[in-house]
Copies of this chain bind each other. A is one copy, B any other.
Amino acid sequence: MNFSVTILGSGAALPTKNRMPTAQYVNCNNRHFLIDCAEGTQLQLRKYKINFQKISHIFISHLHGDHYFGLVGLLSTMNLLGREKELFIHGPKELQDFIMPMLRFGGARLAFNLNFIALNTTDKIKIYEDPVLEVHSFPLKHKIPTCGFIIKEKKKALKINPKKIKEKNLKIEHFKALQNGKDIILENGEEISFKDVTLPPTDVLSYAYCSDTKKNLKVVEFIKEVTVLYHEATFLIKDQKRANSTFHSSTKDAALIASKANVKKLVVGHLSSRYKTNDAHTEELQNLFTNSQVAEDGLCIDLAKEQSRS
């Protein structure tokens, strides 16, 4: 099964030639999510050939414009292109009051159900669950109420050892019980222990998103051991004071959180437009957290690969 994150915008508030403001597309076992939706997100989705009609849930971290000004345009376009599939938007409670009057006044009668769900911005809360994964929101520390998100696969079933299928004459109808750790009796009376015919499950993968936020050690417990952490690093260490005063993070802050949470890989983004390249961020990160990377627009992170690398 696949679990990938595509960075649609890796910049901070001011869009530049190289970096659009924040949005990310997550495909987790063919569940399709969008995290944040800055101005131009619909164009980025097109650019990277993502079928945005498949998106079922949109998570908006907070109401600074560079994280949601593209939402109303994306919803309009989804509607114009004939969307019928229900859509869920999780965001600060005021979001609905901003978006709905604009859609209504424009005369767009949505042909799909649009559900706004207010985020709890003070506690860690499960906001989505299905048989294979869960999504939680948790509070970050920014100028206005802001949430991070964690998308985590559930414990996976055991794998049938392909070598044992012929040897034990297993049929497909036997698999489910064995994969769930139950012994079975074949029609010929033979007892089969699940331990003899299965292999360990593939690793549970997880992705955490922390943007925007100042350094916040409370976050560590929420994102412990995730496969990939995306954490903002708007500033370099030399601009740490500015990071603190604007409720943002430096590379050092991001690396500290990644280190304390023992994540496998750190990706930093939300780079201030004052930095013309990502060279300085990359250099600083190399000394702070080994398995790390600076995000770029279009970067596609394959979580299974990151897990197997570490």
Q: Which 4 pairs, one residue from A and one from B, show the smallest C-beta to C-beta distance?
A: A39-B73, A69-B73, A65-B76, A64-B106
User: Does A42 contact B42, Cβ atoms closer than 8 Å?
Assistant: no
CB-contacts of A191-243 with B (<8 A):
none
A98-B105 contact, Cβ under 8 Å, with A43-B15, A76-B13, A76-B65:
yes
Rounded to whole angstroms, the CA-CA distance of A171 and B81 in the bound complex is 67
Given A39-B42, A43-B40, A97-B101, is A106 in contact with B14 using a C-beta cutoff of 8 Å? no
Residues on B with C-beta less than 8 A from A111 are: none
A274 to chain B, nearest CB (A): 12
A107: interface (CB < 8 Å): yes
Q: How large is the interface on A (under 10, 10 to 19, 20 to 34, 35 or more residues)?
A: 20 to 34
Interface membership of A177, Cβ < 8 A:
no
Q: Looking at the assembled complex, report how far the CB atom of A272 sits from the nearest CB atom of chain B, in whole angstroms.
A: 11
A17-B46 in contact given A65-B106, A107-B64 (Cβ < 8 Å): yes
Q: Which residue of B lies closest to A21 (CB)?
A: B73
Asked if A73 meets B77 with Cβ closer than 8 Å, knowing A15-B43, A43-B40, A106-B144, the reply is: no
* Contact A106 B39, beta carbon cutoff 8 Å: no
In the assembled complex, the CB of A104 is this many whole angstroms from the nearest CB of chain B, namely 10
Instruction: Give the residues from 42 to 81 in chain A that come closer than 8 angstroms, CB to CB, to chain B.
Output: 42-43, 46, 63-66, 69-70, 72-73, 76-77, 80-81
Let me know if A125 is at the binding interface, CB within 8 A: no
Given pairs A15-B46, A64-B107, 19 additional interface contacts (CB within 8 A): A13-B77, A13-B80, A15-B42, A15-B43, A15-B77, A17-B46, A39-B42, A39-B69, A39-B73, A40-B43, A63-B102, A63-B106, A65-B76, A65-B102, A65-B108, A69-B73, A97-B101, A98-B101, A107-B144
In whole angstroms, how far apart are the Cα atoms of A98 and B81 in the complex?
24
Assembly stoichiometry (copies): 2
In the docked arrangement, what's the CA distance between A161 and B149, Å? 72
Chain B residue with Cβ nearest A20 = B43
| Chain B residues closer than 8 Å to A98, beta-carbon distance | 98, 101-102, 105
Question: Beta-carbon contacts of A79-115 to B below 8 Å, as 1s and 0s?
Answer: 0110000000000001001100110011110000000
Chain B CB within 8 A of A176 CB: no
Which residues 1-33 in A have Cβ within 8 Å of B in the complex?
A: 13-15, 17
Measured in the bound complex, the distance between the Cα atoms of B43 and A66 in whole Å is 13
A182 interfacial contact with B, CB 8 Å: no
Does A126 count as interface, using CB distance less than 8 angstroms? no
Could you jot down 14 A-B contacts, CB within 8 Å? A13-B80, A14-B80, A15-B42, A15-B43, A17-B46, A39-B39, A40-B40, A63-B102, A64-B107, A65-B72, A65-B102, A65-B106, A69-B72, A106-B144
Do B39 and A107 touch across chains, with their CB atoms under 8 A apart? no
Query: How far apart sit A170 and B250, CA to CA, in the bound complex (Å)?
Result: 67
Instruction: Tell me whether A73 and B65 are in contact in the complex, defined as CB-CB below 8 angstroms, given that A39-B42, A105-B144, A144-B105 are known contacts.
Output: yes
A258 to B105 CA separation, bound complex (whole angstroms)? 31
